[in-house]
Amino acid sequence: MKASSRSLLASYTLLTAMILSVLPASVSAQSNRFDKSRLERIDQVLQTYVDNGEIAGAVALVQQNGRTVYEQAVGWADREANREMTTTSMFRIASQTKALTSVVILSLMEEGKLNLSDPVSRFIPAFESATVAELDGDQVNIVPVRRAITLFDLLTHTAGISYGTQPHIADQYRARGLGPAAGNGWYTADKDEPVCTTMERLATVPFVAHPGEAFVYGYNTDVLGCVAERVSGTPLDELIRERITGPLDMHDTHFFVPPEKRDRVVAVYASSAEGKAVRAPEGARGQGSYIDGPRRNFAGGAGLISTAGDYARFLEMIRRGGEAFGEKILSPRSVALMTSNQIGDLHSDNGRGFGLGFQTTDRFGANGMESVGSYGWGGAYGSLYRVDPVAGISILLMINQLPNTNDIRIKYPTMVYQALE
């Protein structure tokens, strides 16, 4: 065994021991083996959502120590076309894109090309004049930011940048083709312009909090995508392909779907007022432009299409400390930064934190039954992923439903954990 591999193993053995020390004794004493018969309960739970018409279809995947222990496709990829869901169906993963863009930024840091403390204005000068829309009763005061927005602020969603949904700034976002008027706020796939042009325009609208003072979910990672392009001189789609999806053999992960794969893309549905899945319309608020769009705007915050299997390979690389399948993507210390709480209680005061691109679980019970030290996130179309380093598991649920008003994202992880012995 190489010295670097021994060091990595020792580091993760120590980390696991520290995590186990804060778990209840009844949990830390468990074997973390799966009961196959209990895993099979998931089949019926998922199928019930389809049979009740609450979702059109889904793909669920569970891996433990890199080995698939559960994989199931249910329902329809396109109900109206009678196209069944398969385990290789391709989904719009929306905010699951953020983790990959964050890894690109950390990899550029490791090459000495940027610092997390760098101001964003170093790469996008328009941010030097960033402002905040402060509310004083019914009065809105536009004031300069109290300090420069940094790359760290963007990674932790503490830059004050939203998706423009707040009423006191919505009109200004709308006037610039941003926010909900642009298609659910985060959507940019239909823009016939580079992402940096979009982000330069974003810099001219007021934000909703001062840097470092609040957790505000928004365009932060899209800005990071532009930063990555400026630093490297390479479009974000190429950066992600060269640094992540290529080395990890994630061959079905793209910003825009290759024409030959269009029949594998899952249709988008929406929850009706009655809670039933109905087909979403064409356009930005529905099917989107991921197949026939301009193919110019690579949204680092929400633009990727992927499969459950592809994304599981990415998660396995993170779970192993930045190295998997014979490829080293990041150092273990960079992964530790990403997957540990970096902002105290700004994200939540109830045991959940936020690292550099991932939500973290800091208290047992804060995120269902997952262990302290777990991390993950999800996407606007209803998908979710969680990594539990103590149990050695990665959990994925892929659906394409927006909005999604059922409780499948709560119930599915519970069904996975109830199967652990």
> CATH assignment of 3-16+29-97+248-417, given 3.30.420.40, 3.20.20.70, 1.10.443.10, 3.40.710.10?
3.40.710.10
Q: Which two tokens stand for residue 166?
A: 């707040």
Give pLDDT, residue 16: 53
pLDDT at 26 (0 to 100): 47
- 188 touches 222 (CB < 8 A): yes
Q: What is the pLDDT of residues 243-254, one digit of tens each?
A: 999 999 999 999
Rounded Cα distance between 398 and 184, Å, is: 19
Low-confidence ranges of the chain (pLDDT < 70): 1-31, 181, 183-185
Region(s) of the chain under CATH 3.40.710.10: 3-16+29-97+248-417, 101-239
Q: Is 403 left (phi over 0), alpha (psi -120 to 50) or beta?
A: beta
Q: Tokens representing 28?
A: 């830390």
What pLDDT is recorded for position 5? 47
Reply yes or no on domain 101-239 having CATH 3.40.710.10: yes
pTM of the shown model: 0.92
- As a residue count, the chain comes to 421
